Amino acid sequence: MKDKLKIGLLGLGTVGSGVPTILKEHQEKIAQVTGMEIVIAKALVRDEDEKKRQAEKFDIQLTTDIDEIINDDEIKIIVELIGKVEPARTFITKALENGKHIVTANKDLLAQHGSELVALAQKNHCDLYYEASVAGGIPILRTIANSLAADNIQKVLGIVNGTTNYMLTQMVTAKKSYEQALKEAQELGFAESNPTNDVDGIDAAYKMVILSQFAFGMNISLDQVDTHGIRGLSLDDVEMAAHLGYEVKLIGSSEYNNGSIAVEVGPMLVAKTHPIASVRNEFNAVFLESSGVGESMYYGPGAGAKPTATSVVSDLITIAKNIRLGTTGHMFNSYSHDTEITEDKNINGKYYFSIEVPDKHGQILRLTQIMTEADVSFEQLVQQKSDGTRARIVAITHTITKEQMKRVASEIKKADGFKLLTIFKVLEDK
């Protein structure tokens, strides 16, 4: 008989019930690598009756009272899968104060209160792992913390929101409109009925905050991420991008530049030959540029009950090993660095501008004048067919600073008859 390691589970929803499933399916292998049998002893639910069948199936005791789990001395680890900030933050805080190790998939919480919880875990010599909080089934945090500890990361590009990547893939490959693609994502259960967090890039921004902590050791706040979503993205831009050799992707990027980082989330034009351009549908991928390894990419499912539960269980195994070796209480990510945000004048990039103009002569000249005054030149310029009164000009610039981009944008907005439709960053394949 192996020793039993008892777990308290907060939340028995889709991912929550995946955890006992994975533990049961891989019982033998887990016992072999940890020397212990990991069992879910109790689960916190809102309604005991509703979850009765699952509880019986996995022999889990249900409770609606968090204290019954937090004050149970036999429970060593708590897995939090209820999501959002409250009451998760209060529960985890209490649990850490009671010396429980924590596994969570809660990106909202980690992105906003990560440092506070990490410090509390340290103080109480507890483990706090959250691999599943970024890119579900992809072990990207552990890879950065362990395998790239000997490397200097320069850039992290992530497709870290499966819902929007699914929508964009449908828009690109099946020429569906934004509205159609969203409706379909909702029908398939990828998008919630209120899709704000996904389509406005907030979910991706949470993940970029966590990735930036691991890649650069910097603690940034959500408002330091320049966040744009895909809400209302026009099929025109998607088709124009394809025509110019790019795919539109919602990219989270975190880039190191001389002691500071720039973190952005937004629709970007990705060259079709770039490895991240071929990531389709609900899949996620994180692409890294580092001085040692060079280019690497980690690809897999970004969400889903089984991948997320698998990731949670891999954290449980890590803690189980630490308990057995007496090495708990070390930080998941021990790399830290002063936090500095790059100024716009030091952020470089190529940008795609889409502008609606009056359908008469001289518009390209006017645009060129605006650009020239900001010392910006074009790499590609396309004037599209018009409806007789309005036309559309699309321009991709050479590499400029973000400050220049903003200056041009502001001048275009002021220009009589010009309407700035979109600005996307452009990512080339090296």
Site stretch for its own copies (CB under 8 A), options 18-26, 97-105, 117-125, 259-267: 18-26
Residues with Cβ < 8 Å from 343, sequence gap 6 or more? 260, 403
Does 299 help bind its own copies (rule: CB under 8 A)?
Answer: yes
Binding mask 258-277 for its own copies (x = CB under 8 A): -----------------x--
Find the binder of its own copies among 116, 295, 373, 375 (CB under 8 A).
295
Site stretch for its own copies (CB under 8 A), options 106-114, 236-244, 283-291, 351-359: 283-291
DSSP bridge partners of 103: 79, 129
Find the binder of its own copies among 212, 311, 342, 422 (CB under 8 A).
311
Find the binder of its own copies among 253, 318, 342, 422 (CB under 8 A).
318
Does 20 help bind its own copies (rule: CB under 8 A)?
Answer: no
Question: Known binding site for L-homoserine: residues?
Answer: 192
Tell me the two tokens of residue 47: 């309604």
Does 173 help bind its own copies (rule: CB under 8 A)?
Answer: no
Identify the helix (H) or strand (E) that includes residue 125: none
Find the binder of its own copies among 71, 90, 115, 152 (CB under 8 A).
152
- The CA distances from residue 26 to 30, 217, 274, 314, in Å, are 6, 34, 37, 11
Instruction: Please state, in angstroms and rounded to a whole number, the distance separating the CA atoms of residues 313 and 310.
Output: 5
Tell me the two tokens of residue 276: 């991240």
Measuring CA to CA, which residue among 328, 399, 390 is closest to residue 356?
390
Complex with its own copies: residue 178 or 214, whichever CB lies closer: 214
Find the binder of its own copies among 32, 64, 71, 372 (CB under 8 A).
32
Contact at 8 Å (CB) between 2 and 38?
A: no
Q: Is 4 a catalytic residue?
A: no
Does 338 help bind its own copies (rule: CB under 8 A)?
Answer: no
**Looking up tokens 């970007």, which residue turns up?**
268
Find the binder of its own copies among 336, 383, 386, 399 (CB under 8 A).
336
Complex with its own copies: residue 138 or 370, whichever CB lies closer: 138
Residues with Cβ < 8 Å from 57, sequence gap 6 or more? none
Listed as own residue / partner, the contacts of 115-124 with beta carbons closer than 8 Å and 24 or more positions apart are 115/219, 117/89, 117/92, 117/93, 118/331, 118/332, 120/93, 120/96, 121/96, 121/329, 121/331, 122/329, 122/331, 124/96, 124/97, 124/99, 124/329
Contact at 8 Å (CB) between 84 and 107?
A: no
Complex with its own copies: residue 170 or 404, whichever CB lies closer: 170
Neighbours of 342 (CB within 10 A): 18
Question: Known binding site: residues?
Answer: 10-17, 107, 192
Instruction: Please state, in angstroms and rounded to a whole number, the distance separating the CA atoms of residues 168 and 158.
Output: 15
Complex with its own copies: residue 204 or 317, whichever CB lies closer: 317
Does 325 help bind its own copies (rule: CB under 8 A)?
Answer: yes
Complex with its own copies: residue 124 or 296, whichever CB lies closer: 296
Complex with its own copies: residue 140 or 357, whichever CB lies closer: 140
Residues with Cβ < 8 Å from 119, sequence gap 6 or more? none
Least distance in angstroms from the C-beta of 300 to its own copies? 3
Cis peptide before 267 (omega within 30 of 0): no
Contact at 8 Å (CB) between 220 and 263?
A: yes
Question: Known binding site for NADPH: residues?
Answer: 107
Does 22 help bind its own copies (rule: CB under 8 A)?
Answer: yes
Does 278 help bind its own copies (rule: CB under 8 A)?
Answer: yes
Measuring CA to CA, which residue among 62, 129, 60 is closest to residue 92?
129
Does 218 help bind its own copies (rule: CB under 8 A)?
Answer: no
Number of residues this chain uses to bind its own copies (CB under 8 A):
53
By the 10 Å C-beta count (0-12 exposed, 13-18 middle, 19+ buried), 174 is classed as exposed
Does 3 help bind its own copies (rule: CB under 8 A)?
Answer: no
Does 215 help bind its own copies (rule: CB under 8 A)?
Answer: no
Annotated active-site residue in 100, 207, 249, 350: 207
Does 15 help bind its own copies (rule: CB under 8 A)?
Answer: no
Least distance in angstroms from the C-beta of 126 to its own copies? 16
Least distance in angstroms from the C-beta of 261 to its own copies? 15
Find the binder of its own copies among 306, 366, 406, 419 (CB under 8 A).
306
Residues at the interface with its own copies (CB under 8 A): 22-23, 25-26, 29-30, 32-33, 131, 137-139, 142-143, 146-152, 275, 278, 283, 290-301, 304, 306-307, 309-311, 313-314, 316-318, 325, 327, 330, 334-336
Active site residues: 207
